[in-house]
Chains A and B, each alone.
Chain A
């Protein structure tokens, strides 16, 4: 089913929102991802992801306060819904079970240059 499938970027956004807790809005999400994953994402791309997630019911949003830096424009805060949290958990379980199948993973060089 398409609705329950989480893309890699969507998963990243969901997790970031959860990490940020009460302070998850456009700029903070963007900066958090930049800091943790060293990924520069455009605000436009982020908007697309957020609106998809909201459509699927994985997150919800509400208008917040405005301030001077924002030229008087209000923020929009995002929060992961229960469905969202469940979806994250499902994804994690799937990964975990896969990881469990792989015994002693160790990184080995593929080639030796003698």
Chain B
């Protein structure tokens, strides 16, 4: 009996079963087993096992292993495929409910997958149109200010590019680009605003931005020459054959048009309306092109010769940096080459030329899509396994007739792939519906993404749905193809092994954990969002319209707006508090060693009234006597130990290298966002750099007021459009990141809940169907409908409790780590905030189960028993 417990190594037994020819298997396996038993007696179990493994390995020889082709030669592939397809379609048709649950569930999740694929493909297709793209590199800077941590910038000084060209060799082309060519251009009586770049002729040599007119080799050679894009030329001249024309630039320069370039494609990280010649700046000896330190808005691109390695240029860059760093003290700059192909998606460098989608966004959307898709695959797996009892007979018959495991596996996988392809059709329709919403999700999307479907994407989609089908069908196919004909024909009860029920429960549990997690996260995020929008700022933002001054004369604008009767107050300010922008310096009172960081906003005297700031002591600014006067908040008086508000009046503060006399104290208010604490704050007045005009409105009809304001605006400025936003909307925009998270997680929560409820519905239908007899008998014996519903729902309860126990802490952690990571003021998270989402999901789940159970319980018992 002892040796019976010693079995040969399982893996090797299976391996041998797998590769050994059918007709000699019995003989060889028998010999292996017999020898194994003998070896145990002679050498002991360990050596016997070792010898066994050795023997199996040595079995791998042509005379023993199956020939790869022989396995299938007897089958007609196409015929079988056709047969599988027909069976698959019939099965779909026969179980309409289960099929639609599967298809819809997969379709919903696939939309998320399609978006992810389209989005990621689009991001990686950026800058693909440059013919020499694989040889173009960008010089990037790592700037380390004295005693501070280094930061990485996409920008480099123009000087670097010029010196690389003059003092170092080995580049095929070097194009420094300065971003500051923006302003108005005038031709005749047409003036347009444009945003352009300065660069040199190498720009056209390097990048594939073709010229439709003009010579790319000389277009930017002369100072004061300009290349327009077709779109810009059309705007300015209403035609494109404009080479030789002269236009006036807003700084008074007369620029000669030397070329017309095709418009830059959308998927380019370099965009421009016009290109000025860098020579212009060199002629003017602008510091932009001569200073090592002016690296904030210029870029240097280099084209390496064919076959050159970027590493070999590092010494030149280091040498250049060393020479230039020696001339400065306050900072050091290190340089490196970044391949152009890796600019988008971005890795978080500062000062990119255009908005660049960060890599993290790509990562998170891919992960979220995967989660949702896997969840939908669970549904398919679950329902298929649940129905395996019914399909078992088919499997049995096929096996008896001679189908092999691989055939059955293929059949079930093909069935799943069919479902996936049908789902893809629906998903493509849904994709078009969801697309606009996704594009406006946040600032980044809007500016960088179009989600246009290209042929290659359709190919990806198709491949994607094939793999989804395989993923979803894999486990059921494996289980079904393993069924033994004997056990099937013996009776279906034997197939219900407890292990498989557990697998199903685990899958459902995972789905519900996801659903609840997303639901809880959404409810927490939207609470925080509402909190951020509605919390008391300490001043009044109601009916305040902030107008973007856009460089116009403030007095003219104020006068124009005052003529509109609905305008009750007009003020201007340097920035808009509570929306994230700030200006600060260290402020000192008498004690020279005690300083505090203090924020300031420069305003006109009317501002305090407009915003309803409450003066506790002192008075407002008086027109004409505003210089060096400051109105502080309570906290500033307290922090710098100036004393009570009344005592503070007339005292002198030192900051921004000046002395300021305190003329008033206002009540504390939130000048920052929820992410900032209330800090010492001061209003100053009398400076001219005001970018915002605040209009206090009193109007019953906002639309007509707005058109009146627009008229008033165009009296002063015909060139720019009136751009205004209500203060409250502006605050809302400040928290757009939270609202984007809410939208994203809301969508995902919706999808996850839909999928899990669909899956649960399937399971509930299946459970009730398979227990109809039992339910009927219970009913006949006197059980009430509610008893029966309870009976059926009971089994799911522990599952939900476990799911909730995992989901709630996970969601809370995620909320703390991402959404309110930097928030100083946040919501109090209570039991309802946490459990609300989970309870909602559980509620929907029980409604689903209950509806099915009730349906079964309400049926006429006689009917059921007769059917069975």
Contact = CB atoms under 8 A, between A and B. Distances in A.
A39 interface: no
Interface string A49-84: 001000000000000001001110111100000000
B30 A70 contact: yes
A43 B35 contact: yes
B60 interface: yes
Interface stretch (B21-29, B133-141, B232-240, B466-474): B21-29
B31 A71 contact: no
A97 B27 CA distance: 40
B54 interface: yes
B55 interface: yes
Contacts of B26: 73-74
Nearest to A46: B31
B24 A47 contact: yes
A30 B27 CA distance: 14
A66 B64 contact: no
A19 interface: no
A93 interface: no
Contacts of A42: 54-55, 58-59
A91 interface: no
Given A26-B27, A43-B58, A44-B55, A69 B63 contact: no
A51 B23 CA distance: 13
B553 to A, nearest CB: 97
B32 A43 contact: yes
Interface string A8-51: 00000000000000000111001100000000001111011001
B37 interface: yes
B61 to A, nearest CB: 5
Contacts of A51: 63
A70 B3 CA distance: 13
A73 B63 contact: no
Contact of A70 (B33, B60, B63, B64): B33
Nearest to A75: B30
A43 B31 contact: yes
A97 to B, nearest CB: 34
B10 to A, nearest CB: 13
Contact of B27 (A44, A45, A69, A74): A74
A47 B63 contact: yes
Interface string B9-47: 000000000000000101111111111011000000000
Nearest to B38: A27
A72 B319 CA distance: 80
Nearest to B62: A48
A74 B34 CA distance: 11
Majority SS of interface residues in chain B? helix
Contacts, number: 65
Nearest to B61: A44
A43 to B, nearest CB: 5
B27 A73 contact: yes
Contacts of B24: 47
* Residue among A25, A27, A66 with most chain B CB within 10 A: A27
A70 B35 CA distance: 9
Nearest to B26: A73
A48 B38 contact: no
- B interface, size bucket: 20 to 34
Residue from B30, B37, B55 having most chain A Cβ neighbours under 10 A: B30
Contacts of A44: 55, 58-61, 64
B64 A69 contact: no
Contact of B28 (A26, A45, A66): A26
Interface string B48-80: 000000110011110110000000000000000
Contacts of B60: 44
A43 B59 contact: yes
Contacts of A25: 31
B63 A48 contact: yes
Contacts of A76: 27
- Of B34, B60, B61, the most chain A CB neighbours within 10 A belong to B34
A25 B27 CA distance: 9
Contacts of B28: 26, 43, 47
Contacts of A69: 33-34, 37-38
Nearest to A51: B63
Contacts of B58: 42-45
Nearest to A25: B31
A34 B722 CA distance: 101
A25 B64 CA distance: 17
Contacts of A45: 58, 61
A71 B31 CA distance: 10
A69 B38 CA distance: 9
B55 A27 contact: no
Contacts of B61: 44-45, 47-48
Contact of A73 (B33, B37, B64): B33
A51 B61 CA distance: 12
A73 to B, nearest CB: 3
A20 B26 CA distance: 22
A27 B38 CA distance: 10
A102 B32 CA distance: 44
Contacts of B59: 42-44, 47
A71 B64 contact: no
Contacts of A75: 27, 30-31
Nearest to B3: A69
A73 B37 CA distance: 14
Nearest to A71: B33
Contacts of B38: 27, 31, 69
A80 to B, nearest CB: 18
B617 to A, nearest CB: 100
A26 B37 CA distance: 14
Contacts of A74: 26-27, 30
Contacts of A30: 31, 35
Given A43-B59, A69-B34, 14 more contacts: A26-B31, A30-B31, A30-B35, A42-B58, A47-B63, A48-B61, A48-B64, A69-B33, A70-B30, A70-B31, A73-B26, A73-B27, A73-B29, A75-B31
Report, nearest first, the 7 A-B pairs whose CB atoms are least far apart: A73-B30, A26-B31, A42-B58, A70-B30, A44-B59, A76-B27, A44-B58
11 contacts: A43-B28, A43-B31, A43-B59, A47-B61, A48-B64, A70-B31, A71-B29, A71-B33, A73-B33, A74-B30, A75-B27
